[in-house]
Chains A and B, each alone.
Chain A
Amino acid sequence: MLVPPHGGRLTDRQYEGGEAEKIIEQVKGEKLLTLNTREKNDLEMIGNGAMSPLEGFMTKNDYESVCDLMRLASGPVWSLPVVFASKNGDPDVSPGEHVGLKDREGTIWGDLQIESVFEADLAAEADKTLGTNDNSHPGVAYLNSLNGKYIGGKIRSIRRRDTESFQNYRLDPKETRVLFRARGWKTAVAFQTRNPIHRAHEYIQKCALEIVDGLLLHPLVGETQEGDIPADVRMRCYAEILKDYYPSSRVAMSVFPAAMRYAGPREAIFHALLRKNYGCSHFIVGRDHAGVGNFYGTYDAQMIFDRFDSDELGIIPLKFEHAFYCTECGNMATSKTCAHDSKSHVFLSGKKVREMLKEGKMPPPEFTRPEIAEILMEASRKGDNR
């Protein structure tokens, strides 16, 4: 049996077809609030159950409990706020009101039954959840762009399949669970990524695959920051490498439509809990998972898991070191398994790789498989590296 969803049940607040039309009809004449990109990503993931047990944007009680205790007010572990921010120019609203949710272009994406309207201390939120108030942190910059008022309550999310990217790779938690069962997997490890695949990632994924039934490659395709490799380039890299280097019956790739928050350790917990909802029993946590710049310690994202009982997390973190190719060992390794010093290690920083790609230089095959390097070089030539 697969791991149960977080909080025991997979919430389902996603509507399409006639049901979606009804929602659109119901919000006609109601006040409309505007979703930003992150909130639109969150709405989708609350709707499809990836954020179970959340049924909507957080109310004041949940928000404060999550910021202070990393728990929902009802008890389950939850590490990051999932909130809807009031926007300048939107109408004033109060608890008890029913409103529509639209994007900036005016398309209706769902509705919200308002339970809570509250002022948030955004500096305190940044401090508690991101560990910094430095505006050069993208999460802090995001908070600083808000006006400080949040609106919470249950949502209904409208699914518009025709607008979705990566349609061939878009599986909801319910669907990955059926997939795992159909393939006979009782355990599955999720790999979160917002980077193209290099040999180090491949090595870690395959190490993890040695101890579980299946691997869910789950590239994040929601909002990321300037400078990250675009999702379509990353997806092309993964599709290419899966063709020849992974056993197809033991690997599945689908997209993870979440926005990056760059919250380091707290986001590592968040990513793990969401993958539990997709049916994964294990989750790979590398060094500086979901980190940015030098805001978090190398092992912070791994150590934070020790603060919770394994039962209440319900997903097992697999903690990995950076991997590299060792010329002395003649294979991929990490500092846990290699006896040689760094002079024997083939390892390139992200910055170095970007420079090489820009200059049209192929990274060494011990670092990146040539098929992947070709895709990255082509993207770099076309200016896809934002």
Chain B
Amino acid sequence: MKGLVIWIRTETKSGESLLDDLGRDIRDRGGRVEVFHSKTVEDLGMEKNDRAKAIACAMLAGHGIVVLASGTEKSGLNSGDTLEIREVEESELRLDELHDSFLRNLELAGLIPPPRFDVNPDEEKEILKKLQDLGYIDSES
């Protein structure tokens, strides 16, 4: 899978909680995720600005990891052969419909794994009954 940086554009620190939520979602699908909080920049002793954060994100994502970060500007980060950068407004991600379509587009582009596919149990029961009635499976299946 191509490396991906999801950069949430935000003027405030509230974007940071979104990073964790999004990170959990992608991790649940089996994605390899690194959430890059602003505090991480400080903890690493790097200069506290978006440029330093962007460089660190690109380095991580270059190894095929999905990296999540937030800030005012993704300075110097550009998509290339091995790295994809997707920017999104914090406000968009807070709307369910836009949140879903943002993730769906990443899935279709092969940048994050899709959620595990399963038929819901009630529907599965109905289908099994149909398959029995048509003789595809016997009643013990």
Contacts and interface: CB of A to CB of B under 8 A. Distances in A.
A107 interface: no
Interface in B115-130: 115, 117, 119, 123-124, 127-128, 130
Interface in A157-201: 168-169, 171, 174-175, 177-179, 182-183
A7 interface: yes
B97 to A, nearest CB: 14
Interface residues of B, number: 21
A76 interface: yes
Contact of B131 (A7, A76, A178, A311): A178
A114 interface: no
Query: Looking at chain B's contact residues, is the secondary structure mostly helix, strand, loop, or mixed?
Result: loop
A9 interface: yes
B90 to A, nearest CB: 23
Contacts of B117: 4-5, 8-10
A171 B131 CA distance: 9
A308 to B, nearest CB: 12
A7 B105 CA distance: 10
Interface string A91-129: 000000000000000000000000000000000000000
Interface residues of A, number: 24
B124 to A, nearest CB: 6
A179 B131 contact: yes
A27 B117 CA distance: 32
B114 A312 contact: no
Contacts of A177: 119
A75 interface: yes
A72 B108 contact: yes
B14 interface: no
B113 interface: yes
B131 A8 contact: no
A33 interface: no
B136 A179 contact: yes
Greatest chain B CB density within 10 A among A72, A174, A312 is at: A174
Interface of A: 4-5, 7-10, 53, 72, 74-76, 168-169, 171, 174-175, 177-179, 182-183, 252, 311-312
Interface of B: 105, 107-110, 113-115, 117, 119, 123-124, 127-128, 130-131, 134-137, 141
Given A9-B107, A174-B123, A177-B119, 20 more contacts: A7-B107, A8-B107, A8-B108, A9-B114, A10-B117, A75-B109, A76-B108, A76-B110, A168-B135, A171-B131, A175-B127, A175-B130, A178-B128, A179-B136, A179-B137, A182-B128, A182-B131, A182-B141, A252-B136, A312-B110
